């Protein structure tokens, strides 16, 4: 068994049986009472508004305003995304070496500069340089951000806090999207440039604020353990087979995001009699339900056993949603809307469970001495699932209808069912130990 320092949530509980720390998300007015989470909420809010503002108009800027070919732009974005997935792992190692807060600040600051560079792009070569730099820095920051949360949030409330921040992200991106819609309606170079520069500025909020987040007590202890760890153990995540297996299973479950963003809009328009606005209605429903219930679900999946159960059930629930979506084909418009709506609610429940379970397992199965690399690996897996999702969904459900939905359903169910033996393997291998539990 490999010796590790477990990051069990139990380490923040009083061994005498006292109650856990006050809920991190308990509000003081509109913001959480916990000062660290309050700061994280503020920069998450600013950062997400910028993302929501830029998300609907980025491709259109490069095609309509700069004048680049749409296919070439899509290829460039894909290449940048692939490089970004790989970049998360060395960025995580840098976070372990020099501190997650310090590295995160540099990544966000670099993303601000690279994003601002979009406004001077006037050729495809310039586009490639700018989009690769911006995407790599942004994607590398995701794993480092998870490592930051591992360092600054108490383990007893960390998953709940992440759920709260995800709800904040959803709401903020919705607000940013409303402003993005105004930019799209104006459809002028000045409007697009203004939106891009505003998005670049929103990267500066986390860059400036993250270094002021205080380290939690367990993170200070972990830093001492990391200094004593053999050099080989600092890269253990890339050869930790049980952890990599859980990462792959989580990545497969992350394909679900392509259902809402790509699969359902195409399915509604091409295969059902539902009105076109149904796709937007389903997306809005998803955002609202995630904002309302993610924290509550996360509270019930904050320990390894409950996280395993959450991911176990998310797989078959996603399979059920795929089956329901398939049934919407051939129905009258009203019935199609109702069936699609029911399927989307089932999918949201699966999404809430898989997200909460994934956060917990991503932290609790990691070697606490190298959270940066471990979170970089886990985030790389998530990003891979999200990137592969559109192609997988279109190649199955959209091209083959009911049979394609069945393939997706089986894939999701198998991923959920396999989580439990994978976590048991991690216990036996020593990637996570329960001595402190």
Q: How far apart are CA 419 and CA 397, in angstroms?
A: 24
Q: For the ranges 76-90, 182-196, 335-349, 399-413, which has the lowest average pLDDT?
A: 76-90
Q: How many CA atoms lie within 13 A of 29 on its CB side?
A: 3
Return the structure tokens found at 157.
């409330």
The answer to whether 422 touches 243, Cβ cutoff 8 Å, is no
Return the structure tokens found at 282.
């389903």
Q: How far apart are CA 321 and CA 260, in angstroms?
A: 11
Which tens digits make up the pLDDT trace of 78-124? 888 888 888 888 888 888 888 889 999 999 999 999 999 999 999 99
Backbone dihedral region of 430: left (phi > 0), alpha (psi from -120 to 50 degrees) or beta?
A: left
Alpha helices in 300-370 (DSSP H): 304-327, 333-364
Which residues have a Cβ under 8 Å from the Cβ of 289 and sit 6 or more positions away?
345, 348, 352
The answer to whether 183 touches 191, Cβ cutoff 8 Å, is yes
Return the structure tokens found at 136.
């790599």
Q: How far apart are CA 189 and CA 110, in angstroms?
A: 24
Q: How far apart are CA 106 and CA 372, in angstroms?
A: 15
Instruction: Answer yes or no: is pLDDT of 151 > 80.
Output: yes
Backbone angles phi, psi at 128, to 5 degrees: -60, -45
Structural domains in the chain? 29-228 (1.20.1250.20), 236-429 (1.20.1250.20)
Instruction: Answer yes or no: is pLDDT of 434 > 70.
Output: no
Q: How far apart are CA 100 and CA 153, in angstroms?
A: 13
> What pLDDT was estimated at residue 243?
92
> What pLDDT was estimated at residue 317?
98
Most confident of the ranges 134-138, 153-157, 184-188, 407-411: 407-411
């Amino acid at each position: 068994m490999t010796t590790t320092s477990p990051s069990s949530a139990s380490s923040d509980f009083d061994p005498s049986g006292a109650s856990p720390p006050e809920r991190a998300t308990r509000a003081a007015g509109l913001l959480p009472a916990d000062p660290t989470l309050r700061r994280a909420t503020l920069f998450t809010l600013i950062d997400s508004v910028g993302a929501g503002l830029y998300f609907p108009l980025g491709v259109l800027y490069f095609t309509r305003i700069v004048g680049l070919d749409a296919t070439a732009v899509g290829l460039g974005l894909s290449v940048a995304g692939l490089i970004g997935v790989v970049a998360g792992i060395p960025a995580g190692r840098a976070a372990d070496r020099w501190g997650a807060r310090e590295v995160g600040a540099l990544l966000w600051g670099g993303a601000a500069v690279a994003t601002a560079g979009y406004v001077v792009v006037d050729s495809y070569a310039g586009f490639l340089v700018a989009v690769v730099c911006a995407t790599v820095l942004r994607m590398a920051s995701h794993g480092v951000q998870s490592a930051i949360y591992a360092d600054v949030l108490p383990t007893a409330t960390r998953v709940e806090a992440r759920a709260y921040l995800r709800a904040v992200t959803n709401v903020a991106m919705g607000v940013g999207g409303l402003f993005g819609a105004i930019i799209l309606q104006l459809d002028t170079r000045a409007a697009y440039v203004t939106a891009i520069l505003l998005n670049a500025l929103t990267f500066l909020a986390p860059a400036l604020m993250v270094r002021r987040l205080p380290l939690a007590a367990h993170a200070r202890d972990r830093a001492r353990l990391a200094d004593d760890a053999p050099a080989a153990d600092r890269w253990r995540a890339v050869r930790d087979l049980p952890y990599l297996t859980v990462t792959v299973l989580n990545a497969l479950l992350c394909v679900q995001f392509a259902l809402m963003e790509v699969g359902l809009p195409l399915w509604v328009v091409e295969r059902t009699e539902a009105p076109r606005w149904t796709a937007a209605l389903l997306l809005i429903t998803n955002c609202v339900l995630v904002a309302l219930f993610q924290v509550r679900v996360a509270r019930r999946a904050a320990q390894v056993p409950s996280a395993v159960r959450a991911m176990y059930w998310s797989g078959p629930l996603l399979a059920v949603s795929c089956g329901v979506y398939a049934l919407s084909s051939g129905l009258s418009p009203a019935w199609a809307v109702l069936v699609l709506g029911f399927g989307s609610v089932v999918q949201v429940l699966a999404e809430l469970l898989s997200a909460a379970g994934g956060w917990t397992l991503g932290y609790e199965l990691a070697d606490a001495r190298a959270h940066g690399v471990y979170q970089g690996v886990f985030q790389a897996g998530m990003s891979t699932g999200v990137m592969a999702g559109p192609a997988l969904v279109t190649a199955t459900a959209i091209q083959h209808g009911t049979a394609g939905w069945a393939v997706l359903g089986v894939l999701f169910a198998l991923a959920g069912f396999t989580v439990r033996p994978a976590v048991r393997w991690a216990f036996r291998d020593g990637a996570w130990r329960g001595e402190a539990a």
